[in-house]
Structure 1
């Protein structure tokens, strides 16, 4: 080989490596923004509706499943998108039940399909009927019953179907057709003879009262056949359950025969495959005596079972022949059952198969006339943990890099996937050094020993596309889903608001009032409009249903604000995942003397919600520096990197110095300053800590907060973060937080304690004095404060620059905060002062506010402090709302990452959020060691003890109580699931789906016309929200008037 050709090949190789390893993160975000700007709401009628329910498919399951899918395809995994994650609209669903803080599936399914929350284990009935109270149901009769979307659809002439991988009589599918005080009454054998009343079992209800459902596919054959007959598949006796001697399969055949319809009953794959969907009107398939097989175990031969994807395909092909359309439920039910067994592999495989079914449904329908919804009924206490590297096997151990960053205190390895409770618990903890954690039957470790893991209480995602899918837009009660379906498909309560002139497909949409007004005198028109209004008001007078209808009314009135954001406020709750938000809302409500679950945090009322994928350029589970760089600078980067591209490795000062500005990424703070806006950074951590640092600094290591932190062996001439803030970013007008020690010389005492050895600077510089000098040189009014009395004395109307450093390290937790003059201001007070100073600039401002100590409390497994910090964070948001105008201020509330923190245990409504699982709930799922446990748990951290502590006499509501965990670490790790983005104000509708985290910075730039979008942002064409046109409200009004022509 010649020297020239060798060099050529090396160059080619280098180019390939660069192309593979360096991602155009900014380009990805810009493309996503372009797509978002093209989105238009589809306000047409949903001819068809397909509802996919991933049973137990919380956000942590979705996150792990996307990685699992990607890795099966030979990729790193984190960048993978599940098909439904591409849907344009996302909302969050509050899953608590009428009587449960942490729900079970019957009540969540009743909410989803029946439009009302109900009691535990109740199917298709209102909360006026208690669990197992047959007498109450019989007495109330139809008054207690809820019609499901399936029944409403049938009444409008639509075809319907129910497909599941569980028993067809199991809780979720049963809620589409049955009415039962107890989900377990699947056959007559399941109804205790002591039950008073004459309740009908669920299987019998399906056949006798719901034989007009055209496609019924799933398991559970045993509830339909007499106990005196053998099972057809195994020919074994003792499998079937019915004691009344009825063969309900034969009964179904007779009923279809009497209709003179073409029908087929199948119980194995070969018969199923032979069904021609063009030649059958009714199809009943019962493929297993109990639940269908897990996908990993499924017999794919003719004697086996069809997959969920195959059943979905067949169902749609049959149902779509109806010109009036169809409504179909598809449940991936065994996701849930695998989680109950702490068997992550089967749960993820089921999720991937579920996604395949969604993909198939998409290919067989048209999103112009088909509303497709993907959601979950509840979540599980399941977490992806451990600071793992990108591409680390999702079913494997935490890799050596991740382990070294946070080693276990017992020295033994652990898997990145963990549960808060369930059968994976062992004492002492198993050494996994030689364990094959990717085996089909491997059970992940858990914190509390149960024979079956419980559900968890955090919100779940709603992913939607098609007609009226934009109505899924914020944080909603779970029963809202059924009402949107009814409205979109013009069924049920909305079956009369259907005038095709006014609600067609998006492309045919038009409004013409003249034919109506020509037929009405002015007086009669007003009378009819008033009567219509009265009818609407009277309909909305119920409880759960009424709440949902009110929420729908509000959603229909929403208009996108396409104006320019004069101001931007970005709130970051550090570590504030959805489980934290859920627990915090309950904590807040209970502090106010309420049950708690119904409470709304202020930012949960924001009209727009999206999800943010938080992985880093090199990390599956990220650190805060790289997530903050993504949020504020618009690029994903490497572990512990601040404000630099991924071309710079962690602590590689030489690489940064060599690349210079080419490696730097400008933050939204710097870009705002360049456009003449005022800026501010407020935090409860050190102002030089990872998240606030990313708003102004460029550093290969987040820990280089002062010159003392930079190791002398580091090659290059990197500047510490504190010095960068003062020397290069003194034009940031408001800087408030902790971290004073990085700004003052080690030779001087701390001003608060007068103690030596607190301050850290070795270069002798007093950066506070340097800041004073720099501000003095600008001829500006300025002030430096370090305690509350000085801070309170600051008049925001008379000050241009404010620097406040209130603690040598992080500011105090809110629970411990000294509120006297010598103490520290709260996050709310700092936010208020910052906005009052910054809003004086006519060009506007950009402010970042971090609730940073939420994260620190979680690292300590100290749930109470984490929740108190979250509630204080919400107070700061509330204050910002009162001080700004949403017409010209884009406000975003998000998190940088989550934590492996769960609300568990089937707890009753109002159970103290910091307390033990209540006795009723404990009795439903007792621990195998007989000892009580708290509903709040962590997957890893310092709360681990072996053997597990008996909490019988422990005061778990105390400030310093540390929750229990599955794996012992000195500091709990982050977790990798998506976090929420809550937004209001100009361009907030651009937060609409599942986004890469760095998308946030690009929306901020576009909304405020700064940075990359300062020239492409035509300010003259931006209209305010009041001038924007949204068609759904006039359509609803006109349709209502037409009802009374």
Structure 2
């Protein structure tokens, strides 16, 4: 898109939003306050994963009032990846965190394949090179940093803001990098990936990261009360082996877990103590999971939970006066529509209640309701009723009893009752809404890669320069100094870059911020990343050796 057409598109969308949402716009004095920038600067970046605009609209109708996000409406975001019109969460998060489009499954690295129109090709040499993210930039500025998700904290989007790997499923590498990044506040699920064990995502490298967190003097908390009561400035909260519960289900299934708003409020209260300011990333992870499951109740549950967290952020930003808040979806999911084949001829006079009342009957999401199902399905009718499917017909009951995917069958049944259309159990490629508040806020139709560049500029650094500082090619750097180099993969789970010259031996273990020079360990300003072919290290390494 040319600069002129992009500008026109942005003005058109922003203008439409302004005209249709005057009642939701910030007051004049709030807008004026947003234009003033002073030091220190704070940024709160918030992502509701896999949330199409229809899910937001449906959530507003369900709530019966405005969302906190409504007052921040600023435009739209294009979400395509380097190789596809429909993005996976990993490259979407990479774009939002680093300013670079990337490929399917890639976390915080440059793409190998670039086919989307208008994008520059990446050289073979630079393919899969780590690129710095805004959280790392904030750290380099001396700011406090935080990372929050309702999924495993190692899941794709929080990983994009804290790690670099060639595949989003590399939870072991991601968890290790996150620990050695020295992030001040980390809250979410994913405890399983911190220690060795027998679980799917348990550590394979033998390292117990819980011991490392203790050495790093984190207060490790595992429930809501512990989180809210800690006074520590370094908090690591692991509230589940995997993901946290849906907000609607929590009271029944996981009452000890904090809400997303709880975690966001606590993180802000902790990070704001830093005199240099802070950067906080917050993800409402499970609207995406609900969309994959075609569960409109789950989508609503966690869109509203996300919106409550947004209110925490904006309330702080209004008082602080120098905090940039951005809220956005990383991509769409499911093709949800308000209206279906049921309403082809009746939509002009079908009331809101025809869409909302059937959903209001649900007391739990599909996931929550199925957690109550007995192995023999003897309580199937009661479980269906928990999900709002009361008064089952004989045909509906037969379908549920015979279904090989009971959750999806229940979700489609409720969607049909609520006159909702759903086209996919996968992601979708439409533009998503942009919400922003605070100084230098973004407006109009923008690329997802524009957001981190704006955040970086507001915090006072350049992402390209930061990449060169944090992720230099180790082989090239050491060989220029006359070293011989090799990658020691004797232990496949713990690769080490080794450089030798005379009596001096330099060792750089993957995923850590550590270098050993002739056996003496030193901490680095960044982590060591191995992408399977090359090691990338902080340029500060080269200042430690002759």
TM surpasses 0.5: yes
Indicate the structure with greater strand content.
Answer: 2
- Counterpart CA distance in 2 for 1:215 and 1:32 is 32
Do structure 1's residue 107 and structure 2's residue 98 form an aligned pair? Answer: no
C-alpha distance in structure 2 between counterparts of 1:205 and 1:33, whole Å: 41
| Structure 2 match to 1:265 | 220
Cα distance change of structure 1 residues 268 and 141 upon mapping to structure 2, 3 Å threshold: farther
| Structure 1 equivalent of residue 481 of structure 2 | none
- The CA RMSD measured in Å over matched residues stands at 3.7
Task: Name the CA distance, whole Å, in 2 between partners of 1:47 and 1:344.
Answer: 38
Q: CA deviation at 1:477?
A: 1.2
2:103 to 109, 119, 123: 119
Contact kept in structure 2, 1:84 and 1:463, CA below 8 Å = yes
| C-alpha distance 81-128 of structure 1, shift in aligned 2 (>3 A) | same
Out of 122, 128, 132, which is 1:147 matched to? Answer: 132
Q: What's 2:329 paired with?
A: 376
Q: What's the offset of the Cα at 1:325?
A: 0.6
Q: Partner of 1:5 in structure 2?
A: none
Cα distance in 1 for partners of 2:296, 2:226 equals: 32
Q: Which residue of 1 aligns with 2:523?
A: none
> Which deviations, in whole Å up to 9, do the C-alpha atoms of 1:4-46 show, x marking residues without a partner?
xxxxxxxxxxxxxxxxxxxxxxx99886799579944615257
Partner of 1:68: 62
Aligned match of 2:391: none
User: Which structure's CA Rg is the greater one?
Assistant: 1
Q: Cα–Cα, structure 1 residues 275 and 451, in superposed 2: closer, same or farther, change >3 Å?
A: farther
Aligned pairs for 1:18-57 (under 5 A) are 39-40=31-32, 42-45=35-38, 47-57=41-51
- The corresponding residue for 2:202 is 241
1:240 is displaced (CA, Å) by: 6.0
How far is 1:128 from its partner? 3.6
Tell me, yes or no, if the aligned pair for 2:26 and 2:71 is still in contact at 8 Å.
no
SS of 1:444's partner is helix
1:1019-1041 per-residue CA deviation (whole Å, 9 max, x = no partner) reads xxxxxxxxxxxxxxxxxxxxxxx
- Residue 392 (structure 1) shift: 3.7
1:222 to 189, 192, 208: 192
Look up the SS of the partner of 2:411 in the other structure. coil
What is residue 467 of structure 1 aligned with on the other side? 439
Q: 1:389 aligns with which of 351, 356, 359?
A: 351
Distance 2:247 2:273 in 1: 29
Confirm or deny: 8 A CA contact 1:345 1:440 kept in the other structure.
no
C-alpha distance in 1 between matches for 2:43 and 2:465: 15
Contact 1:163 1:216 in 2 (8 A): yes
- In the other structure, the counterpart of 1:444 is 412
Can you give the 5+ residue segments of structure 1 that lack an aligned partner in the other structure?
1-26, 71-79, 131-136, 188-200, 229-237, 258-262, 399-429, 497-1045
Q: TM-score, normalised by structure 1?
A: 0.34
Q: Is the 8 A contact 1:114 1:148 kept in 2?
A: yes
Query: Is 1:207 matched up with 2:179?
Result: yes
Q: Does 1:356 align with 2:308?
A: yes
1:823-862 equivalent positions in 2, closer than 5 A: none
Tell me the CA shift for residue 391 of structure 1.
3.8
Contact 2:337 2:422 in 1 (8 A): no
- Once the 2 structures are TM-superposed, how far is the Cα of residue 292 of structure 1 from its aligned partner? 0.8
User: Taking structure 1 as reference, are residues 152 and 293 closer, same or farther at Cα in structure 2, changes over 3 Å only?
Assistant: same
Corresponding residue number in structure 2 for 1:186: 171
Contact 1:123 1:182 in 2 (8 A): yes
Please say if residues 109 and 128 of structure 2, whose CA atoms lie closer than 8 Å, have aligned partners that are also in contact.
no
Q: Residue 246 of structure 1: CA displacement?
A: 1.6
**Structure 1 residue 488 and structure 2 residue 458: aligned?**
yes
Cα 1:343–1:153, aligned 2, differ >3 Å: closer, same or farther?
Answer: same
Q: Which has the higher contact order (CA 8 A, sep 6+)?
A: 2
Decide whether the 8 Å contact of 1:269 with 1:301 is kept in 2. Answer: no
Alpha-carbon distance in structure 2 between the residues aligned to 1:115 and 1:33: 28
Question: Counterpart of 1:144 in 2: which secondary structure?
Answer: coil
Contact kept in structure 2, 1:103 and 1:455, CA below 8 Å: yes
Distance 2:77 2:169 in 1: 25
- On the 8 A contact 1:227/1:245 being kept in 2, the answer is no
Q: How many residues align?
A: 383
Query: Which whole-Å CA distance do the structure 2 matches of 1:458 and 1:451 have between them?
Result: 13
Q: Which residue of 2 aligns with 1:541?
A: none
Once the two structures are TM-superposed, the CA of residue 298 in structure 1 deviates from its matched residue by: 1.4
Residue 287 (structure 1) aligned to one of 239, 243, 250 = 239
Where does structure 2 lack aligned partners over 5 or more consecutive residues?
1-18, 115-121, 361-394, 401-406, 467-546
Q: Which residue of 1 aligns with 2:153?
A: 168
Structure 1 residues 363 and 184, CA gap change in structure 2 (3 angstroms): same
Change (3 A) 1:94 1:303: closer
The answer on whether the counterparts of 1:56 and 1:455 sit within 8 Å (CA) in structure 2 is yes
Q: Is the CA contact (8 Å cut-off) linking 2:189 and 2:244 kept in structure 1?
A: yes
Q: Distance in 2 between matches of 1:246 and 1:104?
A: 30
Secondary structure of 1:103's partner?
A: coil
Residue 300 of structure 1: how far off its partner (Å): 7.7
